[in-house]
Structure 1
Amino acid sequence: MEKVKNIVIGFGKGGKTLAKTLANKGEEVLVIERSAQMYGGTCINIGCLPSKRLIIEAEKKTAFDQAVVGKNEMTAFLRDKNYHMLADEPTVRVLDGTAKFKSDHVVTVTTPTGETLDFEGERIFINTGAEPVILPIPGLADSKYLLDSTGAMDQSDLPKELVIIGAGYIGLEFASMFANYGAKVTVLDASDKFIPREDDDISQMVFDDLSALGIDFKLGVKIKEVYDLEDKVEIVYEKDGEHTVTADKVLAATGRKPRTSDLGLENTAIKLDDRGAVVVDDQLHTSVPGVWALGDVKGGLQFTYISLDDFRIVKDELFGAGKRRISDRKNVPYSVFIEPPLSKVGLNEKEAKAAGVEYKLFKLPVAAIPKARVLKDTRGLFKVLVDPETDLILGATIYAKESHELINLLSLALNAKLPYTMLRDQIYTHPTMSEALNDVLK
């Protein structure tokens, strides 16, 4: 058995950034990755970047097969870059294989050739990410036409007809993207409420715009069965009677769960919660001293920028003041890359009312913004909530072109506790979407 100072299980954002930092400090690091196609983690290989690349290509009306080729070239470049970022470090060893805990600090790695190697780590960092959830719908898991979020981006041919199970944010991104490529998209969801966490006016606008794109939403349905025909898949569902819909492919977009099932954690004192996520404290320590968990594997928000912030917490503990905490993350922005994008940070009206928070509301339709005319897309709405006593921003929802960039400005103002008047009176370049804050916040 070989003893190693640091073991990082998984080549994701938090783990790879930490491994690079440890190497820069001259420390020995073993990075274990189960697939050579996942160097760099979910985001660059099967998540954020390839999906957004395909979304942008769809808006440009690029042919689907050409877009997939371009996406694959991009991910191959980034994968190679990330591999060499670590493998070229003299104190880093990148090992392909599946890691399984033998005890609290001993990990067995099974390589692609079947060889098993045991390593004892002084420090171990679990960064194995998450995996798609496939609902226990009869026939779904066995269907040869089933796609998950990874497979959906690797199709060589565009499905002419696509059924998406799940009207959550991932499902909506794929629905918008495939509809823009020209597929006939049907979305089935058990809830009769459309994106219920958003304000009703925003939800209705998004629903109307996606429906106008040709997406057929069937909400409040119960899917009874999925079965394969000769060259199609048929989905049987109930809503006011039994109905069927056929398609070339069925995409399961029903969430992701922490990837812990094959880590051998039953051989350790590392605790899991009811969803299979690694339980951590405010500094990402697991229940075993000297073992941390970063990123999606610990549950919570599944964003690559959360994994990066997890890295900052560990780095601060190991090499800084040790003051950073998960609980410091009060307001985390997010964007849904439909067309136009939907972005939010802090409170919306629905959340403020539920919490009994007093607020002053500022609204502006996107049609009133000159840059929206330049972009030839006047759909959407700006909403900003402000504390009427302190003038501090409580939250913002932006459904508009370039909202994914603009929301970071609102997030900064929110976290820095800047009065809304500072954004209102700021001098912005023209024409931009950000200058709309001069008018929104009047």
Structure 2
Amino acid sequence: MKKFDVIIIGSGTAGAKIATECAKRKKTVALIEKDHHIFGGSCINIACIPTKTLIHDSLHDSLYEEAVERKNKLVKKMSENKYKSLYGLDQLSIYDGEARFVANKEVEIVTNSTKEIVTAEHIIINTGAVNNTPPIEGIEHVKNVYTSTSLINSEELPDKLVIIGGGYIGLEYASMYASFGSDITVVMPEDTLIPNEEPEIAQEVEKVLKDKGITFLFGKQVEKVKEENGVISLQLSNEDEVKGDAVLIATGRKPNVEDLHLENTKIMLTDEKAIQVNDKLQTTVDNVWAVGDVKGGMQFTYISFDDARIIINQLFGDKTYSMKKRNNVPYTVFVDPPLSRVGHTKESAEKDGYEVVVNNMPVSSIPRSHIMNDQRGLFTGIVDKQTGQVLGASLFGHSSEELINIVKIAIDHKWLYTDLRDHIFNHPVMSESLNNLFDLEIEK
């Protein structure tokens, strides 16, 4: 049995970062990746990079086939660069195989022709998440049924695409494929769009997406799917029927734990079938850690990168950094225009006991929006009435994916609304909108 200082299962964002840092510190590392085609993880290969590349090209009048080709070249380049950056590190051994636990600290590496058991003092599980496919009668017998992973690799643009699920992934794909020219229908069980967002923002998002030609069928489940002469028919819960030539299942992603054989260990799962960890990312087995999507919670690349910071601090630092210090995580849904949020909504702030002041500002009031000829959207700012501190913002409009990071810094450093209101931004830019968004009247 070969022994390493560290075993890392999965080559995604967190795993690659931890492997690099360990190798630089002269620790022997085994990095195990079962699928060389996704070396570097989901972000590079099947998620952030390819989808945002396609979204960009869909908004710049690219032909779909050309956009897919450019996406493929970019993904290949970035994945190969990640492999090369790790392959050359001393102390690091890369295994192309599937990792299976045979005991708490023993991992079997299985390839097409060999099996090898390795062990280490520290084991990092970084296996990510996989698509969650609901049980729908007949769907396994129908062609042109895609997941978010497989659809972006199709070189043929669907004429009529039916999307099952109206969450953030479903909305991104709906917006993107509508921009490429597909006819889009979104079927979702919820009665409203993105119910966790500010109601005014959600209404504006729905309006803008409907203006792109997207049809929403609210409060409906898909119960049965069949295909005849290339036409896919989806039977809904109210006996309605919707038809298309392609179906996207966008019903979320779940932690990828099924092939790890955790039953051979004392590693426990949560009720949501994610690997259970504490705030330092330790599992229920000493010195076995879980990072990224496999541990549940927010499925963002930058969360995985921050998970790597925690592990590196625990292994080599003062052991003070943990998930307890992770606050105000921003996110962006790359619909057209993008929707970004950080911190509190009005509802969540009031639930936490704050008395708040809210300001809503149409994007059309920002001079830059007229220069760019895109006045769609709405910005919302949330401020604590008692202290004047910035609590949150929801930004639906051009460049929100950049602006939201300014608001995060403001919240993290407990800035007052006057700090943003009175800040000197250059002109004409979208960020100067924060002057007006936080131009509030607060009675003391």
Q: Which TM-score bucket, shorter chain as reference?
A: over 0.9
TM-score, normalization by structure 2: 0.97
| 3-state DSSP of counterpart to 1:94 | strand
* Equivalent residue, structure 2, for 1:16: 16
Spell out the pairing of 1:29-428 with structure 2 (5 A cutoff): 29-111=29-111, 113-239=112-238, 242-428=239-425
| 3-state DSSP of counterpart to 2:121 | strand
CA–CA separation in structure 2 for the residues paired with 1:97 and 1:205: 47
Residue 193 of structure 1 deviates from its aligned partner by: 1.9
Residue 362 of structure 1 deviates from its aligned partner by: 2.1
| 3-state DSSP of counterpart to 1:251 | strand
Residue 437 of structure 1 deviates from its aligned partner by: 1.1
- Checking the alignment, whether the CA contact within 8 Å between 1:421 and 1:441 is kept in structure 2 is yes
CA–CA separation in structure 1 for the residues paired with 2:338 and 2:159: 24
CA–CA separation in structure 1 for the residues paired with 2:340 and 2:96: 37
**Which one-letter code corresponds to 2:18 in the other structure?**
L
CA–CA separation in structure 2 for the residues paired with 1:380 and 1:350: 20
Gaps of 5+ in 1: none
Gaps of 5+ in 2: 440-444
- Checking the alignment, whether the CA contact within 8 Å between 2:355 and 2:386 is kept in structure 1 is no
CA–CA separation in structure 2 for the residues paired with 1:323 and 1:141: 49
Name whichever of 148-157 and 355-364 sits farther off: 355-364
Residue 390 of structure 1 deviates from its aligned partner by: 1.1
* Equivalent residue, structure 2, for 1:2: 2
Query: Number of residues paired by the alignment?
Result: 439
Residue 214 of structure 1 deviates from its aligned partner by: 0.5
- Checking the alignment, whether the CA contact within 8 Å between 1:261 and 1:276 is kept in structure 2 is no
Residue 45 of structure 1 deviates from its aligned partner by: 0.3
CA–CA separation in structure 1 for the residues paired with 2:248 and 2:113: 33
CA–CA separation in structure 1 for the residues paired with 2:243 and 2:427: 48
Residue 228 of structure 1 deviates from its aligned partner by: 2.1
CA–CA separation in structure 1 for the residues paired with 2:350 and 2:142: 44
CA–CA separation in structure 2 for the residues paired with 1:141 and 1:406: 43
CA–CA separation in structure 2 for the residues paired with 1:52 and 1:73: 14
RMSD of Structure 2 on Structure 1 (CA): 1.0
| 3-state DSSP of counterpart to 2:404 | helix
CA–CA separation in structure 2 for the residues paired with 1:203 and 1:169: 12
CA–CA separation in structure 2 for the residues paired with 1:123 and 1:299: 21
- Checking the alignment, whether the CA contact within 8 Å between 1:124 and 1:292 is kept in structure 2 is yes
**Which one-letter code corresponds to 1:72 in the other structure?**
N
- Checking the alignment, whether the CA contact within 8 Å between 1:164 and 1:252 is kept in structure 2 is yes
CA–CA separation in structure 2 for the residues paired with 1:391 and 1:357: 11
**Which one-letter code corresponds to 2:99 in the other structure?**
A
Show CA shifts across 1:137-161 (max 9, x none). Answer: 1122443221001111101110111
CA–CA separation in structure 1 for the residues paired with 2:305 and 2:330: 14
- Checking the alignment, whether the CA contact within 8 Å between 1:336 and 1:342 is kept in structure 2 is yes
CA–CA separation in structure 2 for the residues paired with 1:403 and 1:293: 32
**Which one-letter code corresponds to 2:83 in the other structure?**
Y
| 3-state DSSP of counterpart to 1:311 | helix
**Which one-letter code corresponds to 1:190 in the other structure?**
P
- Checking the alignment, whether the CA contact within 8 Å between 1:198 and 1:350 is kept in structure 2 is no
CA–CA separation in structure 2 for the residues paired with 1:383 and 1:231: 45
**Which one-letter code corresponds to 1:288 in the other structure?**
V
- Checking the alignment, whether the CA contact within 8 Å between 1:129 and 1:259 is kept in structure 2 is yes
Spell out the pairing of 1:426-437 with structure 2 (5 A cutoff): 426-437=423-434
* Equivalent residue, structure 2, for 1:439: 436
- Checking the alignment, whether the CA contact within 8 Å between 1:341 and 1:403 is kept in structure 2 is yes
Name whichever of 318-327 and 62-71 sits farther off: 318-327
CA–CA separation in structure 1 for the residues paired with 2:233 and 2:144: 10
Residue 109 of structure 1 deviates from its aligned partner by: 0.9
Residue 278 of structure 1 deviates from its aligned partner by: 0.4
CA–CA separation in structure 2 for the residues paired with 1:18 and 1:142: 42
CA–CA separation in structure 1 for the residues paired with 2:403 and 2:157: 32
CA–CA separation in structure 1 for the residues paired with 2:40 and 2:426: 36
- Checking the alignment, whether the CA contact within 8 Å between 1:145 and 1:232 is kept in structure 2 is no
Residue 179 of structure 1 deviates from its aligned partner by: 0.3
- Identity of matched residues, %: 41
CA–CA separation in structure 1 for the residues paired with 2:371 and 2:315: 49
CA–CA separation in structure 1 for the residues paired with 2:52 and 2:27: 35
Name whichever of 356-365 and 147-156 sits farther off: 356-365
Show CA shifts across 1:33-66 (max 9, x none). Answer: 0111111110010001110000000000100000
| 3-state DSSP of counterpart to 2:26 | coil
- Checking the alignment, whether the CA contact within 8 Å between 2:136 and 2:225 is kept in structure 1 is yes
| 3-state DSSP of counterpart to 2:116 | strand
- Checking the alignment, whether the CA contact within 8 Å between 2:178 and 2:184 is kept in structure 1 is yes
- Checking the alignment, whether the CA contact within 8 Å between 1:278 and 1:297 is kept in structure 2 is yes
